[in-house]
Amino acid sequence: MTSVILASKSAARAAVLRSAGVPFETVDSGVDEAAAKEGWLTKGAGPREVAEGLAERKAVAVSKSRTGLVIGADQTLDLDGVLYDKAQDIAEARARLVALRGRRHFLHSALVAAKDGAPVWRLTESPALSMRCFSDAFLDDYLERHGASVLGSVGCYRLEDVGAQLFEAIEGDYFAILGLPLLPLLGFLRKQGALPS
């Protein structure tokens, strides 16, 4: 059976794959994501292109030294065409959630599979999430109860947790929101002999 390597440090992505029963190992790509992102943004790339570029760079980097299928993944938050990075502290998280409140944003979740140093498959899904107009009191309680854990998500929420209460509508795949469009990936892995059909 073809081996699968996840070129990502994301615990959430690993948990999604593990829960789906996919045998895999995790390898850090060593890609300087901040430098790559800055270079692409300077050249006018948008949030979707940055996610796709980072997913490919991670997959290719690991596949140059490892056999099997290497899955690179990345996700960016896009609010009106502007890319947002993870908040550095609770004050920034609060400002992020205030900026998203009552508005619609996109999460671009990109996957690239590579083998022998070259991409062999790619997919990007872009769910749209609409936050409700929650009160300041709700926001303060949410941040007080969840503290620094909100800093692990670029949107400062965890949809699989009480963060779901921040939203009024979601369009798109749940797994893509978690950072790993799972069903298309499972289909690809079955075709490649990495999972039983």
pLDDT in tens, 121-157: 999 999 999 999 999 999 999 999 999 999 988 999 9
The dihedral built from the CA positions of residue 61, 117, 51 and 2, taken in this order, carries a sign that is negative
Q: What is the pTM for the complete model shown?
A: 0.94
Read off the pLDDT of residues 15-49 as tens digits, 9 standing for 90 and up. Answer: 999 999 999 999 999 999 999 999 999 999 999 99
- If one counts every other C-beta atom within 10 angstroms of the C-beta of residue 187, the result is 13
User: Domain spans of the chain?
Assistant: 4-191
Active site residues: 74
pLDDT at 152: 87
Looking at domain 4-191, its CATH architecture is Alpha-Beta Complex (3.90)
Q: Is the pLDDT of residue 186 over 80?
A: yes
Token representation of residue 44? 């006018």
**Amino acid identity, position 183:** L
Asked whether residue 162 carries a pLDDT value surpassing 90, the answer given is no
Alpha helices in the chain (DSSP H): 11-19, 33-42, 47-63, 90-100, 136-146, 174-177, 182-191
Note every long-range contact of 180-184, with CB atoms under 8 Å and residues 24 or more positions apart, other chains counting: 180/12, 180/13, 180/16, 180/17, 180/73, 180/109, 180/111, 181/109, 181/111, 181/123, 181/125, 182/16, 182/17, 182/20, 184/111, 184/123, 184/125
List beta partners, residue 171.
128
What pLDDT sits at residue 53? 97
Q: Looking at the predicted structure, is the pLDDT value of residue 11 above 90?
A: no
Q: What is the mean pLDDT of the chain?
A: 94
pLDDT in tens, 92-124: 999 999 999 999 999 999 999 999 999 999 999
Q: Give the tokens for residue 109.
A: 């979740």
Q: Please, which pLDDT band fits residue 7 given cuts at 50, 70 and 90?
A: very high
> Angle at the Cα of 189 (from 24 to 64), degrees rounded to 5?
65
Q: Does the pLDDT of residue 161 top 90, yes or no?
A: no
- Whether the Cβ atoms of residue 25 and residue 6 lie closer than 8 Å to each other: yes
